Structure 1
């Protein structure tokens, strides 16, 4: 039987969180799915649940989230594809609600709830408030774990991105397939934590952000608030690396595109640090 959904789950060195993510798929009220776990050459191979619907593919070298997701897409057999990171979860009706909505549109997004690093039962959604677009990712309506779409129209991710690959993918998806539905149900549980990632440090994320701006000038020109936010994020990352001079330039660019209190505060703080005020360095 052809699965209704192919769930693609890249993973890297997150055994405990990975198990929780897999359990949230197994607990789905809609059971006609396949789960493809792509291990990005973790130091210790992951152990997954013994379920005939789950396949584990182990990469020979660390190639990043995008390459792993593309490998999963190449193996997918389902009518629809969706993604779930190895540190995120779904509520039990995530796939059931998406399947019902696909009668209205090709691309279906659900709403998101933010989790901490604690363990969560997939059958008992946490009593936290849904988070808004601005607090997760301003270039996407939600993250990739909140979307499903027909397999034949799903774009590949760009493996040149070792960070921000989901943003690049989402911008291209919405440009090519604008027919989408946004569900009110908060079925995607997005976990915020400081655990290991696919070997993408701060410098890699800065470079990826700069590539985004170069590759999608029309999108950012049409969305000045998003454009300003991307430069603000770059400035914050540069600040965290102690690169205050370039961070000021990035923050000023953000302010010129669209003024914000965050950019003003950052510019002021960086200017004082440049003046060598010891208590602000």
Structure 2
């Protein structure tokens, strides 16, 4: 298959027990016209993967991180469209088909990309939470800095299907980021590309006991400040959502027992938007305190 319609890119590092499930879910798509590219980011443990003519494996001798692995996969992709699958997650069988069908129906001026629904599942496969994206993020917007529709979530970024050339034109994934990689990418993508949100769940984000880069508290603090510094103009043009973004960071910092960082973030958010209620943050503080001081 010299020119598949879609390339599914899977960056991976030292998850030989999880990677085969991700690869199999990509190969099991109802759309046949695709390729799967696994980019091994200098793993010390190799996974046993199925033999399939649609599967390619690229092994990096030196680690470039998740963003770097995505860039390698994007550059190697032969498909017009690309999507990215984390090595510990799964695609539902119709993901490629429904995403590309929505793009074909789109009336918006190109470029157009699609995001869809995501479900968070337990290690036993039970659905814990379902997230549905906003129905439309027009070109020129700033994705999660816009006011969301009721009941919709911006935390579905992993489901993106986008033209490979668009990814290359905006400079790919920023390899300076090891956490908040998707947030940074979307702040560059949405200004030049309309994002259509589908109510269909196509992706499973799997909870497990392994390490996730996104849950590393030190990396999250560093990337939080780097993200705001890089996109300061966009953040400052959306003060209400900017403050909300900082409040969420404060809540997460508090839950991770980074109390000084949490209090500094609260003070920063209040300076940006003094009218924003502290109810959600205070509820989180109380819940945390109750864990250690049961009645």
For residues 189-240 of structure 1, give each alpha carbon's deviation from its aligned partner in whole angstroms, at most 9, with x where no partner exists.
1223341235973111111011111122233234445423432343345435
Shift in alpha-carbon separation, 1:14–1:40, aligned structure 2, 3 A = same
Q: Tell me the residue number matched to 2:195.
A: 180
Q: Give the drift of 1:158.
A: 0.2
Q: Tell me the residue number matched to 1:159.
A: 175
Q: Tell me the residue number matched to 1:52.
A: 53
Aligned residue runs from structure 1 range 31-110, under 5 A: 31-103=32-104, 104=106, 106-110=112-116
For residues 50-107 of structure 1, give each alpha carbon's deviation from its aligned partner in whole angstroms, at most 9, with x where no partner exists.
1111111122223211000001011011010111111111111111111211221521
Asked if the contact 1:4–1:32 (Cα under 8 Å) also holds between the matched residues in 2, the reply is yes
* Structure 1 Cα separation of the partners of residues 184 and 49 of structure 2: 30
Q: Tell me the residue number matched to 2:138.
A: none
Q: Tell me the residue number matched to 2:282.
A: 264
Report whether the alignment pairs 1:114 with 2:114.
no
Aligned CA RMSD, in angstroms, stands at: 2.9
Aligned pair count?
A: 265
* Structure 1 Cα separation of the partners of residues 47 and 103 of structure 2: 33
Asked if the contact 1:14–1:196 (Cα under 8 Å) also holds between the matched residues in 2, the reply is no
> What TM-score, normalized by structure 1, do the two folds share?
0.82
Give the 3-state SS of the residue equivalent to 2:266 in structure 1.
helix
Asked if the contact 2:18–2:87 (Cα under 8 Å) also holds between the matched residues in 1, the reply is yes
* Structure 1 Cα separation of the partners of residues 96 and 207 of structure 2: 22
Asked if the contact 1:83–1:144 (Cα under 8 Å) also holds between the matched residues in 2, the reply is no
1:219 alignment partner, one of 227, 234, 243: 234
For residues 147-192 of structure 1, give each alpha carbon's deviation from its aligned partner in whole angstroms, at most 9, with x where no partner exists.
1111111140000001111100011100121x23222211121223
> What TM-score, normalized by structure 2, do the two folds share?
0.79
Q: Which runs of 5+ in 2 are unaligned?
A: 135-142, 146-152
Q: Give the drift of 1:128.
A: 6.5
Q: Tell me the residue number matched to 2:10.
A: 9
Shift in alpha-carbon separation, 1:26–1:237, aligned structure 2, 3 A = same
User: Is 69-78 or 190-199 further displaced after alignment?
Assistant: 190-199
* Structure 2 Cα separation of the partners of residues 25 and 115 of structure 1: 18
Q: Which runs of 5+ in 1 are unaligned?
A: 120-125, 273-277
* Structure 2 Cα separation of the partners of residues 72 and 115 of structure 1: 27
Give the 3-state SS of the residue equivalent to 1:176 in structure 2.
coil
Asked if the contact 1:209–1:230 (Cα under 8 Å) also holds between the matched residues in 2, the reply is no
* Structure 2 Cα separation of the partners of residues 175 and 12 of structure 1: 31
Aligned residue runs from structure 1 range 215-254, under 5 A: 215-239=230-254, 242-254=257-269
Give the 3-state SS of the residue equivalent to 1:188 in structure 2.
strand
Q: Give the drift of 1:131.
A: 2.1
* Structure 2 Cα separation of the partners of residues 146 and 9 of structure 1: 13
Report whether the alignment pairs 1:147 with 2:147.
no
Shift in alpha-carbon separation, 1:88–1:170, aligned structure 2, 3 A = same
Asked if the contact 2:27–2:36 (Cα under 8 Å) also holds between the matched residues in 1, the reply is no
